[in-house]
Amino acid sequence: MPVFTEESSPEMLQRAAGLKKPPLPRVSSPAPVNVDRTADGAKHEVVIIGTGPAGIMLSLMLARYGVSCLPVEKVTSMIIPGQADGLQPRTLEVLRTLGLSEEVFSQGFPNHRMAFWNPGGPGEPRIVRTAVTDDVTVPTRYPHKVLLAAGRVVNILERQMNKYGNEVERGTEFLKYEFVGGEFPVRVFLRDVVTGREYSVFTKYLVGADGAHSKVREQMGVKLQGESTDYIWGVVDAVLKTDFPDIRKRCAIHSDAASIMAIPREMIEDQQYMTRLYTQLEDVVDATSTVANAASEQEAKARARERRQRVTLPRILDQVKKTMAPYDVEVVKVDWWAAYQIGQRVATKFAVQDSEGADRVFIMGDACHTHSPKAGQGMNVSMMDAFNLGWKLAFELLGLAPKGSLLPTYEFERRDIAEQLIAFDNAFASKFSQKMGDDGLSHEDFFKVFHTGCGFTSGCGIEYEQSSLVEKTLVKALDNSLNPDFGLLRSGRRLINIPVRRFSDDAPCEFHDVLPASGHYVVLVLLPKLFKDPRVQQQLTYLTSTLPQKFARGILEPFIIHPLRSNDDVEWNMFPKALKEDWEWNLLGDVSGQGYETFGVDRDAGVVAVLRPDGVLGGVWDIDELAPKRRVESYLAANLSARGTKSLL
């Protein structure tokens, strides 16, 4: 257009790199400033040992929230030769809130379907397809997995963390820690693996994300409890040429020879797509000489060691070919292979306390739980450990929560999940390792374990128990007969996504996408049909004007959903003025009707809920609880510092 006069603001010229989410407000004393963050005596609010999926997720969360943190990694290169390869639907939902899902999708492979292959009957081929099913059967924003090497997932998170101003200190080894008291009561001894320099830094919290052989866990004096089994498996990532028709679906193959789990993987070069194959190894276990029937622990260990040495790449590939016959499997390129023994173990504790009883040292991820890889859980449960711990550490450090209130809930919530994980894995892995017919195992049994496990394995069905952060009460306005895996607003579970239509611009949106990703609490109201009722209007005024002022500025956001079938039937003047003035984007219409239905909410009654910063429902109540001194307020007051409180930290 032919412009003849023009003037720009100075900021306009600098708005290029995209916006970052603002940090959480800080009401505690400022973060320590170090000229050199790895100098002897440097101070950090948090030190994280290990930057696999759990460590990098925690470092990223803390960087986004505005907490000072030193992530250290023993390995000197940026690369983690990851074994894990699967991102589950709930992990994808979380990555989406962090603005990372698109990069994961563009690099990874989405897996939608699972095929079951079993021994053929008389006159049939050696293996036959018995069933094909959706891989994910519970409602979720993304009804599929994404397969992508853990190393690449970690890199995606690390690049975002770099944008938020933090970096990993590589080539840095953890030696030990000790409690020293004071403002930074944990002294952490580190070593530069290149120069050999040893030094120590001081921190408020130390987190071990240093894997199955965690040195932090060892220092904590915490043990893994559980057992190894006799099942020996090989795993290989390879580019294959094959006439097996389902090679791009996840396949559970039980043949007369052995069992295989085949997983379609991402592209590694142009048009070179990998397949991951987990294969049981015949003949490696001898029934007369198992670990279980060994005379002594020493003998058991010796037997296990001897067996492991028999696992080689050619042997794995031979087994694959034998199991998948009559189909041809030609290996074009092997990217990675490994051998492992199935074992399920959980740490007895996830945190230890200083002499004053405050949680100071934590472990996450593989340092807390080890199990078989076939249900694709490791990377996911690890990242979710960090996602759970991240905001709790931040709220504690920033003075946003009553002192000491949040951190004990980390072990309480995540150890329970780890135990459920181990129980599921035990059932799934052993059924997978058995031959069809053994101990009466049928395809139907196996299929059932797979299906009923989907709530848990997808990460969408996990539920935290009653605590200060999860208030469970009977809500009259909810249809409690619903299966919470498939719907229902249920305290302790993540909020299920619903499609909504935002009121201010009448844009169709996914509810998950409009929720804040900045660590805020959300008070969510699903309005009753007659929301012009003066009592409801009073509740809304309280929600939009009074309640947010009780806590740190911006830490609480109201979201309001109306039940009408079109935004055209709604006008701003049907609501308190503060709603348009302060929360213009937070009024949404359930115009499809799906939301109230999915959540099981009675349209005549409405409901109120509080969402924690991790997207988990902290409480769900009848709408009358949205009033001064009632339960919404008391839940929040128990978990958030009152505005104006001078932090004692």
Q: Which of residues 565-624 bind its own copies (CB under 8 A)?
A: 568, 571-572, 580-581, 584
Comparison of 18 and 121: residue with beta carbon closer to its own copies = 18
Q: How far is the CB of 280 from its own copies (least distance, A)?
A: 14
Asked if residues 422 and 344 have their Cβ atoms less than 8 Å apart, the reply is yes
Neighbours of 509 (CB within 10 A): 15
Q: How far is the CB of 592 from its own copies (least distance, A)?
A: 15
Residues 412-471 that bind its own copies (CB under 8 A): none
Distances (CA, A) of 509 to 92, 421, 514, 590: 17, 33, 7, 10
Lay out the site mask for its own copies across 341-360 (x = CB under 8 A, - = otherwise): xxx-----------------
Amino acid at 40: D
Q: How far is the CB of 65 from its own copies (least distance, A)?
A: 15
* DSSP for residue 401: S
Comparison of 204 and 250: residue with beta carbon closer to its own copies = 250
Residues 295-314 that bind its own copies (CB under 8 A): 308, 311, 313
- Told to check if 269 binds its own copies by CB under 8 A, we report yes
Choose one: 260-268, 283-291, 534-542, 635-643; the region binding its own copies (CB under 8 A). 260-268
- Told to check if 637 binds its own copies by CB under 8 A, we report no
- Told to check if 326 binds its own copies by CB under 8 A, we report no
Distances (CA, A) of 561 to 317, 519, 568: 56, 21, 14
User: Of residues 243, 306, 510, 569, which one binds its own copies by CB under 8 A?
Assistant: 243
Complete DSSP assignment for 604-628: TT-EEEEE-TTSBEEEEEEGGGSST
Comparison of 264 and 484: residue with beta carbon closer to its own copies = 264
- Told to check if 9 binds its own copies by CB under 8 A, we report yes
Residues 156-215 that bind its own copies (CB under 8 A): 212
- Told to check if 545 binds its own copies by CB under 8 A, we report no
Distances (CA, A) of 119 to 252, 323, 429: 12, 10, 19
Q: How many residues does the chain have?
A: 649
User: Of residues 59, 91, 280, 372, which one binds its own copies by CB under 8 A?
Assistant: 372
Residues 6+ apart with CB under 8 A from 364: 54, 55, 58, 207, 208, 209, 350, 382, 385, 386, 389, 414
Total residues interacting with its own copies, rule: CB under 8 A: 84
Asked if residues 595 and 606 have their Cβ atoms less than 8 Å apart, the reply is no
Choose one: 147-155, 175-183, 545-553, 621-629; the region binding its own copies (CB under 8 A). 147-155
- Told to check if 504 binds its own copies by CB under 8 A, we report yes
Asked if residues 57 and 387 have their Cβ atoms less than 8 Å apart, the reply is yes
Choose one: 7-15, 35-43, 254-262, 609-617; the region binding its own copies (CB under 8 A). 7-15
User: Six-digit token pair at 161?
Assistant: 């963390």
Maximum pairwise Cα distance, the chain: 93
Question: Rounded CA gap, 399 and 415, in Å?
Answer: 26
- Told to check if 30 binds its own copies by CB under 8 A, we report no
Question: Rounded CA gap, 538 and 530, in Å?
Answer: 13
- Told to check if 18 binds its own copies by CB under 8 A, we report yes
Residues 94-123 that bind its own copies (CB under 8 A): 99, 102-103, 106-107, 110-113
User: Of residues 30, 36, 77, 124, which one binds its own copies by CB under 8 A?
Assistant: 77
Choose one: 48-56, 188-196, 369-377, 605-613; the region binding its own copies (CB under 8 A). 369-377
Q: Is 370 helix (H, G, I), strand (E, B) or coil?
A: strand
Distances (CA, A) of 587 to 128, 553, 567, 593: 53, 20, 10, 15
Comparison of 212 and 358: residue with beta carbon closer to its own copies = 212
Q: How far is the CB of 545 from its own copies (least distance, A)?
A: 17
